A and B are shown apart, each in its own frame.
Chain A
Amino acid sequence: GQQLNQSPQSMFIQEGEDVSMNCTSSSIFNTWLWYKQDPGEGPVLLIALYKAGELTSNGRLTAQFGITRKDSFLNISASIPSDVGIYFCAGLSGNTPLVFGKGTRLSVIA
């Protein structure tokens, strides 16, 4: 089945630093999504990407849909303590269920 390789698995950074994480796939996706999950809560949609090459920002977050449609990255600039959480990439293709990466656990040291 389809799988997403998300890296890194975890990150420990200083407050104010920039963060980058990415996802790659062996399959093509029509839509890439990035979610954030706080402990004990459901994932919250951060950014949705619909076109190959698309670069989209949401505040301090920027994500890009790779040209090959097999990868995506998420950048967080000037991290703050509330950025702590687990970030998941997810790929969507046609009517098949969403495919999730294994998540990147972000810790921010004040």
Chain B
Amino acid sequence: GAVVSQHPSWVICKSGTSVKIECRSLDFQATTMFWYRQFPKQSLMLMATSNEGSKATYEQGVEKDKFLINHASLTLSTLTVTSAHPEDSSFYICSATSQQNQPQHFGDGTRLSIL
């Protein structure tokens, strides 16, 4: 089945650090990738939609300068949390799909803890 790999799975760093999270589709070409944020005991909150080779579309309230997204190839998208602060601590999950009307397949998430 479709496999999406997300790395790293856990990050702990100091406030002010920038953190990059990678999302790779291992056995299919992901024309579209999505980045979500999930708070404890809550559903997934979509942050942005990323199409290969074009700028990401951010959801309302998500700062594009804070959360930089790059989708340079059909198998890789990256999310960079710039100058992270404790309030950015969360569980970040990516997903990928080969076509927009097909199910998304999710990575295993990255738990980000900012001290």
CA distance A42 to B105 in the complex (A): 9
Given the known A-B contacts A42-B6, A43-B106, are A101 and B46 also in contact in the complex, defined by CB atoms under 8 Å? no
Contact A40 B43 (CB under 8 A): no
Contact A31 B103 (CB under 8 A): yes
Contact A88 B101 (CB under 8 A): no
Q: Is B7 an interface residue when CB atoms closer than 8 A count as contact?
A: no
CA distance A102 to B42 in the complex (A): 7
A33's closest neighbor in chain B, by CB?
B103
Given the known A-B contacts A97-B49, A98-B34, are A43 and B44 also in contact in the complex, defined by CB atoms under 8 Å? yes
Q: Is A13 an interface residue when CB atoms closer than 8 A count as contact?
A: no
Interface residues as binary, B29-70 with A (CB distance below 8 Å gives 1, 0 otherwise): 000001000000111101001000000000000000000000
Report chain A residues within 8 Å CB of B93: 42-43
CA distance A101 to B44 in the complex (A): 9
CB distance from A94 to the nearest CB of B (A): 7
Q: How many residues of A contact B (CB 8 A)?
A: 22
CA distance A95 to B4 in the complex (A): 21
Q: How many residues of B contact A (CB 8 A)?
A: 22
Which one of A40, A88, A94 lies within 8 Å of B109 (CB-CB)?
A: A40
CB distance from A55 to the nearest CB of B (A): 18
CA distance A56 to B49 in the complex (A): 29
Given the known A-B contacts A30-B101, A94-B101, are A101 and B109 also in contact in the complex, defined by CB atoms under 8 Å? no
Contact A42 B46 (CB under 8 A): no
Report chain B residues within 8 Å CB of A97: 34, 46, 49
CA distance A10 to B88 in the complex (A): 28
CB distance from A48 to the nearest CB of B (A): 5
Given the known A-B contacts A42-B93, A43-B44, are A98 and B104 also in contact in the complex, defined by CB atoms under 8 Å? yes
19 A–B contacts, CB within 8 A, in A order: A33-B103, A35-B106, A42-B93, A42-B107, A42-B108, A43-B93, A45-B105, A48-B103, A92-B103, A95-B100, A95-B101, A97-B49, A98-B34, A98-B46, A98-B95, A98-B104, A101-B43, A103-B43, A105-B41
